[in-house]
Amino acid sequence: MPSIHSQIFKMSKKQTALTFLPVLLLLNSLFLPSICTAEVPRLSEDPYLWLEDIQGTRALDWVKEQNAVSTKELEAVPGFEKMRERLLTILNSKDHIPFIAKHGKYYYNFWRDEKNERGLWRRTTLEEYKKAEPAWEVIIDLDRLAADEKENWVWHGAEFLEPDNDLVLVSLSRGGTDADVVREFDVNSKSFVKDGFSLPEAKSTVSWRDRNSLYVATDFGPGSMTKSGYPRIVKEWKRGTKLADAKLVYEGKEDDMAVSAYTVHDHGKVYDFLSRQMTFFSDEVKIRKDDKWIAIDKPADAIFGTILGDYASIRPRSDWKIGNKTYPAGSLLIEKLDDYLKGDRNFTVLFEPTERKSLYGVSDTKNYILLSELDNVQTHAYILQNKDGKWERTAVSAPEFAEVGLSGVDSDESDDFFMTIEDLLTPSSFYISNASAPAKKEKLKSEPSFFQSDNLIVEQFEVKSKDGTRVPYFQVSPKGMKLDGNNPTVLYGYGGFEISMKPNYRASEGAAWLERGGVWVLANIRGGGEFGPNWHESARKENRQRAYDDFSAVAKDLIARKVCSAEHLGAEGRSNGGLLMGVMLTKYPELFAAIHCGSPLLDMQRYNKLLAGASWVDEYGDPDKPDEWQYISKYSPYQNVSKEKKYPPILITTSTLDDRVHPGHARKMAALLKAHGKDVLYYENTEGGHGAAANKKQSAFMSALAFSFFWEKLKK
């Protein structure tokens, strides 16, 4: 489930590395019965409401009982401990690429391994980084800090003061929650600044305005947060003053999603912006001019940013008509910022989508724009240069099925850029190049293969969904595999929030599943961003069923092609993908032999009242409105559990400290299924936040649980 905290506020303040809301997956099948169209009644009394008491003694005792049952069964699966150790070895391997980001003259990296469970924040020079064994200067040892302060700190990042790059705002989470504390730190003295800026634990967004002032949106006390649990008030906080005395900048509404203010340093220009996020997919943006906030005229659902210092960039999420010209949803438009603010609309179109092509990412260097697109879920990357007023493209070569990422190293200083290349069977390689000669790229680092892949093949297929829409999916399987319906297969999906599922390298899946002869499938269903905003929009709110039609169509196609049968097909998804799994369980049970449902939404009648749930009403609809509950009720898993229906075995996992998707969803679903005598395993990690793991040891354990469950249920 994407978080407003991570997807919007934690993005680079230069918001044009356009990860495009779309800042953590899927299923289907064959002989599908008709779906009941009668409205599901609301539950007058929820017998498991007590499980929503996150830290309640009764609820935690129940969790302990379920964890004991699940771990006893799954740890007894042959090969469990060997798999867990193998996965932990992979996660802790020193052969992983230490990716870097440039700030000033140094290149920074956050690193975790066996000896540094919580991690090291460190830096080096580019020359040193190119060596096989770079010398790193440790800035913060998080394990030592946690021990000294007796806190279970989880790293949430650091924001640099530009252009000096000597001070940072360090964000630290207790146990992996979205909420964190923020403290000012001096990277040269390697110490927290005495009497410096410091914020208590909250879902805050903080940005340097200058050396002695911050924009702060946080929990200022009663009434300062939205119904979604994010700040609705932003203030300007001066050094040496109390937070309570900070000057009010803007106050949003309780029904808004969140507000924030931030400063952008872009090619020597400095801009201050204010964002009022009304819903997950709509906002109002203002720019500060002479201490006045000037509204930027744009469609509410268009994404606004700056690029190359002088240009405004806009990506409309719905068709935008200006005069006689219509710019399609998913386009990338730019115009000189000053001209745009004056009312001119003489856009240059840098990208225009097609039915099967969408914008993937945008960054820039000093003089060039770096653009990548998805063409039928395959990445194509380009360098754009302005020559005499026309933008010319140069293609960046990459292998078929590869995921390619481009990012400017330091757009204020050079035309250097970083590039990553990987695919489902090829581990990541990390390059540096120059936009003036991209073919002369230099490999900085590369990862070894973490699983045997010589006998594996990646193929892309597509299937027609219920309404005739073509839905692609990637299949990783052994070469020469017999199409006899007996191959253990896991189908993975997400299908929401315009987030694309891309064919990147997955070491854990490779080592725990593919090496053992399993088949792994990645579905690109509607609701995601694989084909741009329209692909997402087509499965939003009242059209949600289309995502489930798509996933089931992929499952049925796997069975029809005899890759597997329902007796050997499993499905996995997390967060919004966990909701997908809940629907697969309750509506398509005959298609699967096992389901892993991770960190899920399941009670769609109450989701908007639990933690950050209200922020997703723009995705799912409002269950408190009768006309919207009518369509939500048809698929809400918790309300659609049937005592009479036969369900496949299900493993439900979550985290006690998930402060994004309430663990009550998973707890109540497991309890209800158990009460009806269904085959349910439940495991709740006590740490980890929405990712369900606070460190690599926990990640390895959670993965071993899931793949042991699948192997036991799906093996030949």
Residue 263 contacts residue 14 (beta carbons within 8 Å) = no
- Number of C-beta neighbours around residue 589 at 10 A: 20
Tokens 């959670």 locate to 702
96, 267, 596, 690: the active-site residue = 690
CA distance 202 to 207: 15
The two structure tokens encoding residue 398: 């990459």
DSSP state of 397: P
Pull the structure tokens for residue 694: 């606070």
d(CA 263, CA 645): 55
Which residues neighbour 11 within 8 Å (Cβ) at sequence distance 6 or greater?
Answer: 17, 19, 23
Task: Find the catalytic residue in 29, 428, 575, 636.
Answer: 575
Residue in 327, 373, 103, 305 with CA at minimum distance from that of residue 383:
373
Return the structure tokens found at 428.
């990541």
For the question of residue 575 being annotated catalytic, the response is yes
User: What do you get for the CA distance between the two ends of the chain, in Å?
Assistant: 33
- Helix boundaries (H) for 593-695: 617-620, 626-632, 664-675
β-bridge mates for residue 320, sequence order: 327
Asked if 176 contacts 112 with a C-beta cutoff of 8 angstroms, the reply is: no
Q: Contact 552/584 with Cβ under 8 angstroms? A: yes
- Render the burial of 297-328: b for 16+ CB within 10 Å, e for the rest: ebbebbbbbbbbbbbbbbbbbbebeeeeeebb
692 Ramachandran zone, left/alpha/beta (phi>0; psi -120 to 50): left
Backbone angles phi, psi at 88, to 5 degrees: -65, -40
Which residue type does 243 have? L
CB 562 within 8 A of CB 555: no
Taking every pair of Cα atoms in the chain, the longest distance, rounded to a whole number of angstroms, is 72
Q: What is the chain's percent helix, strand, coil content, to nearest 5?
A: 25, 35, 40
Residues 197 and 195: their CA atoms lie apart, in Å, by: 7
What are phi and psi for residue 343, nearest 5 degrees?
A: 110, -5
Residues 6+ apart with CB under 8 A from 637: 579, 582, 583, 585, 586, 602, 603, 604, 669
Residue among 365, 402, 399, 357 nearest 383 (CA): 365
Hunting for tokens 């990445």 — which residue is that? 379
Give the count of alpha carbons within 13 A of 490, CB side only.
25
Residue 407 known to be catalytic: no
Q: Tokens 């200058």 correspond to what residue?
A: 210
Half-sphere exposure of 550 (CA within 13 A, CB side): 29
Cite the active site residues. 575, 690
